[in-house]
């Protein structure tokens, strides 16, 4: 099973630098020559950590989506 965790951030460049400092490398189809202003991915084991820009750094209300493979 491949797990993707998405984190909403308000400062993309700073957030990417933080996760690079932890030793995480590009994930998915991402090439981190320069951080994308809206979306960046890092490989974490067999999963992906995705950073998504949101001006407030969070979203008050979210929905859980179940995969077609079954419950998560």
pLDDT digits (tens, 9 = 90+) for 9-56: 999 989 999 999 999 988 765 555 666 888 999 988 888 999 999 877
Distances (CA, A) of 71 to 23, 46, 60: 31, 19, 24
**What pLDDT was estimated at residue 72?**
44
Asked if the model's pLDDT at residue 63 lies above 70, the reply is: no
- Which residue bears the tokens 């950073």? 51
The second-level CATH assignment, the architecture, of 4-53 is 2-Layer Sandwich (3.30)
For the chain, domain boundaries: 4-53
- Please give the pLDDT value at position 32: 52
- Supply the pLDDT for residue 1: 76
pLDDT(66) > 60: no
For residue 42, what are the contacts with CB-CB under 8 A and spacing of at least 6?
A: 19, 24, 25, 26, 27, 30, 48, 49, 50, 51
């Amino acid at each position: 099973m491949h797990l993707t965790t998405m984190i909403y951030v308000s400062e993309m460049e700073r957030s990417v630098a933080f996760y690079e400092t932890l030793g995480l490398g590009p994930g998915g189809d991402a090439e981190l020559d320069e951080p994308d202003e809206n979306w960046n991915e890092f490989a974490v084991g067999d999963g992906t950590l995705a950073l998504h820009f949101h001006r407030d750094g969070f979203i008050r209300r979210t929905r859980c989506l179940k995969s077609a493979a079954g419950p998560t």
